[in-house]
Structure 1
Amino acid sequence: MERRNQTGAGDFILLGFTNDPDLQSLLFGLLLAMYLITVTGNLLIILAVISDSHLHTPMYFFLSNLSLADIGFTSTTIPKALRNIQTQSKGITFAGCVSQICFFFLFGSQDNLLLTLMAYDRFVAICHPLHYVVIVSPQLCLLMALGSWLVSVLGMLPETLSVLRLSFCTNMEIPHFFCDLPEILKLTCSDTLINNIVVYSVAIVLAVFPLSGILLSYSQIFSSILRISSAKGKYKSFSTCGSHLLVVSLFYGTGLGVYLSSAATPSSRMSLMASVLYTMLTPMLNPFIYSLRNRDIKVALGRVFSQTVPLRARLT
Structure 2
Amino acid sequence: MHVERITVKVFLRKPQAQTVERLGIIDNVQRDDLSIGDKLRWLIKFSAHQEEKGRAVRWRDLVDTLGLSRSQAYEWMNVVQTRNDEYVRQVIQFVIEGNASFARLLELAKADSHQRAHQFRLWFGERGGRGNTAKVSLGHTTNLNALKSLVLANVDDDHLEEFKALNWDDPKSVKKAFATFLDYWIEKMADVRPQGIKANASIRKVTVKLPAALKLSLPAKILADGYNMRQKSKWVVEAIQSLLAKNGWEGALLSELVVKPNSQDVFSIPDDLVAKINMEAHRVALQNPSLNANQSTIIRAAINRRLLGFFQKPE
Same fold (TM over 0.5): no
State the TM-score, normalizing by the size of structure 1. Answer: 0.26
Q: Which protein is richer in helix relative to its size?
A: 1
TM-score by length of 2: 0.26
- Using CA pairs below 8 Å that are at least 6 residues apart, which structure has the higher relative contact order? 1
